């Protein structure tokens, strides 16, 4: 009977995880990556929702383990999350994100999921992981400044009169290529292309391996620069559109890698008692993201692409380059982040570079920041209160 009760609660927790994955796909990871491209009329809203679902699923499977591990085991010390705690936290976080989807205000999944896990963990008697919180807090605080600052600088760089676009855009392509060379993948045993390539070479000393990694990174960056320069030489406008779509795809992939951990990470403590692998968990979460992206992302894509700023291809590129870099930084360190925070900060920075404050909805941004703060507070306090009440009753 105890085993059946345990499995029943695990089933409820799994449903909560799928619900959370769906809301993430419909909201954060499903809407933000292609919002600038849709705003620049490079891709339709419906097609963007279709592509972001597929790419988000791929990112969840190939890069999702780091953030999932942090959410599942790194936020609370001294206790192991129970199925009931997992279900309570995920339902609370998913409910808040759902409210954001239907009201048109993007609620940050990184804030709500993190707060919910902390809340139920403390209700279980766990101790706060202050060291982890400092890392997460530093990332959350730095993202708006770094994202908007780099986006502003990139937009100004693209608009510089003395630098033709056939040179500036391929240069950005080289930077993106360097980041791609250092992305870790499951099929490379958690290594990046640069690291795996360096380890494959017959080198034994650490300096030689490091030089090889740098060399591989430069080669990938050079190839990306050449390909984009060749595309721009044929047709500059088409080259810009192609680069914008590639950036949207890379951000969508990174979104899946980061955001799937918010949905399935809390289930990791339960794997010891279940015949399920982490890869299977990531696949299930990826499917939830896929379904959410296909069913609910168009509404949020429209909100982000039209309500926050009127972006052209150049400002959209300026927004997506730092978004991709920040997303991969978070994935590398296993830090749960809000993709809404990343992309909106970049959109604001690129918008200011061209049109100043008139190109960005000030009221919308203030309301969004307020929603971020409130969602984190409600997720933490609400999850703690609800689960504490459930434990007291049962």
Q: Is the pLDDT of residue 309 over 60?
A: no
Burial grade of 140 (CB within 10 A; 0-12, 13-18, 19 or more): buried
Q: How far apart are CA 115 and CA 380, in angstroms?
A: 4
Q: When comparing pLDDT for 270 and 138, which is higher? A: 138
E strands within the chain?
76-77, 127-128, 184-185, 191-192
| pLDDT recorded at residue 256 | 92
Distances in Å between the Cα of 299 and the Cα atoms of 32, 56, 98, 244 are: 11, 17, 12, 21
Look up tokens 């927790």; give the residue.
Answer: 13
- DSSP character for 309? B
Please check the confidence at residue 2 and state whether its pLDDT lies above 50: no
CA distance 43 to 152: 23
- Output the pTM of the full model: 0.89
Judge contact between 70 and 269, C-beta under 8 A. no
Distance (Å, whole) CA 257 – CA 245: 18
Q: Contact 21/68 with Cβ under 8 angstroms?
A: no
Most confident of 79-93, 213-227, 262-276, 347-361: 213-227
Q: How far apart, in whole angstroms, are the C-alpha atoms of residue 225 and residue 220?
A: 9
Q: Phi and psi dihedrals of 192, rounded to 5?
A: -90, 170
Q: Which of 41-55, 79-93, 345-359 shows the lowest per-residue confidence on average (mean pLDDT)?
A: 345-359
Count of all residues that appear for the chain in the document: 394
- Burial (CB < 10 A; 0-12, 13-18, 19+), residue 175, is middle
């Amino acid at each position: 009977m105890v085993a059946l009760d345990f499995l029943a609660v695990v089933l409820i927790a799994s449903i909560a995880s799928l619900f959370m994955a769906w809301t993430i796909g419909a909201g954060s990871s499903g809407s933000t990556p292609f919002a600038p491209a849709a705003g620049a009329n490079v891709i339709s809203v419906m097609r963007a929702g279709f592509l972001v679902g597929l790419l988000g699923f791929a990112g969840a499977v190939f890069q999702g383990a780091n953030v999932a591990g942090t959410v599942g085991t790194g936020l609370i010390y001294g206790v192991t999350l129970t199925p009931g705690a997992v279900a309570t936290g995920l339902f609370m976080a998913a409910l808040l994100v759902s409210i954001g989807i239907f009201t048109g205000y993007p609620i940050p999944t990184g804030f709500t999921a993190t707060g919910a896990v902390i809340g139920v963990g403390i209700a279980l008697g766990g101790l706060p992981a202050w060291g982890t919180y400092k890392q997460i807090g530093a990332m959350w605080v730095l993202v708006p400044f770094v994202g908007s600052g780099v986006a502003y600088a990139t937009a100004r760089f693209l608009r510089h009169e003395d630098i033709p676009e056939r040179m500036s855009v391929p240069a950005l392509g080289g930077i993106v290529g360097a980041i791609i060379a250092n992305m870790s993948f499951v099929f490379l045993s958690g290594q990046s292309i640069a690291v795996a390539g360096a380890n494959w070479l017959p080198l034994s000393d650490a300096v030689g391996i490091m030089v090889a990694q740098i060399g591989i990174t430069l080669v990938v960056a050079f190839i990306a620069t050449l390909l984009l320069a060749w595309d721009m030489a044929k047709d500059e406008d088409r080259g810009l559109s192609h680069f914008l779509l590639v950036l949207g795809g890379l951000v969508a992939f990174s979104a899946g890698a980061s955001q799937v951990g918010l949905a399935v990470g809390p289930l990791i403590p339960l794997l010891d008692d279940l015949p399920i692998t982490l890869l299977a968990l990531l696949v299930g979460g990826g499917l939830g993201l896929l379904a959410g992206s296909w069913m609910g992302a168009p509404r949020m894509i429209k909100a982000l692409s039209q309500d926050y700023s009127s972006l052209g291809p150049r400002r959209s590129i300026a927004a997506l380059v730092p978004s991709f870099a920040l997303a991969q930084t978070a994935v590398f360190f296993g830090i749960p982040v809000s993709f809404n925070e990343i992309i909106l900060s970049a959109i604001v920075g690129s918008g200011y570079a061209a049109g100043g404050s008139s190109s960005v909805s000030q009221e919308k941004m203030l309301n969004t920041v307020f929603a971020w703060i409130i969602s984190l507070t409600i997720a933490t306090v609400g999850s703690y209160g609800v689960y504490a009440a459930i434990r007291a009753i049962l």
